[in-house]
Structure 1
């Protein structure tokens, strides 16, 4: 849970580097919370089927869009890639490239984006 909260504390920090653990723990907690909110929306009757989502899950998604983008960019920095690589998700199969970058180990030592967060 500390990894998730640390991402939220640095919600608009786009510089620096993020470890794999920080990135994937945020993704895990974000997925679990989203699934729980979708279920609550359904149980409480808050789903707007014309829009495709409920009030709680929609507000949560809006709240974590900037922290999610920031941790994704910091993760790309950790593997010595520019944050602009996040835009590859807009093309078909670009998410696969981002998934691979998210799985890669950190670049050892310092790089142009800062010191290695493992050290």
Structure 2
């Protein structure tokens, strides 16, 4: 859960790097929270989608930020997220990038985050 909270705390941090674990744990926790909020909307508010819309707007910037940091970790610019606009093919490219391992050395976006975790 701390991965999710760390991303939310760094909600406008588009610089730096994020490990695969940080990114995917955020995605996982975000997915379950989104389902829970959607169920609240469906059963309590009769499908008005008030809470789910507010939640999705609240996590939009942090999700874009952690995505950009994840792409920085593999040496790509955060603007590569725009390829997700292309249906299916763009999504596949992004998933491959998000699953790619960290660059072992320091890159133009900062030091290897795995090294700081091991110390």
Shared fold (TM-score, shorter chain, > 0.5)? yes
State the match for 1:17 in structure 2: 17
**Aligned-residue offset at 1:109:** 1.3
What CA RMSD, in Å, does the superposition of the two structures yield over aligned residues?
0.8
Alpha carbons 1:20, 1:105 under 8 Å: kept: yes
- State the 1:84 CA deviation: 1.0
Consecutive unaligned residues in structure 2, runs of 5 or more = none
Question: 91, 94, 114: which one pairs with 1:95?
Answer: 91
Normalised to the residue count of structure 2, the TM-score between the two structures is: 0.93
Aligned residues: 114
Q: Check whether the contact 1:46–1:55 (CA below 8 A) recurs between aligned residues.
A: no
Q: Residue 71 of structure 2 aligns with which residue?
A: 76
Runs of 4+ in 1 over 6 A off after TM superposition: none
- Which residue in the other structure is 2:32 paired with? 32
Question: Under a length normalisation based on structure 1, what TM-score does the superposition of the two structures give?
Answer: 0.93
More helix by share: 2
Q: Kindly provide the CA deviation profile for residues 41-64 of structure 1, in whole angstroms up to 9, marking residues without a partner as x.
A: 11102523xxxxx11111000000
Match of 1:58 in 2: 53
Structure 1, unmatched stretches of 5+, are: 49-53
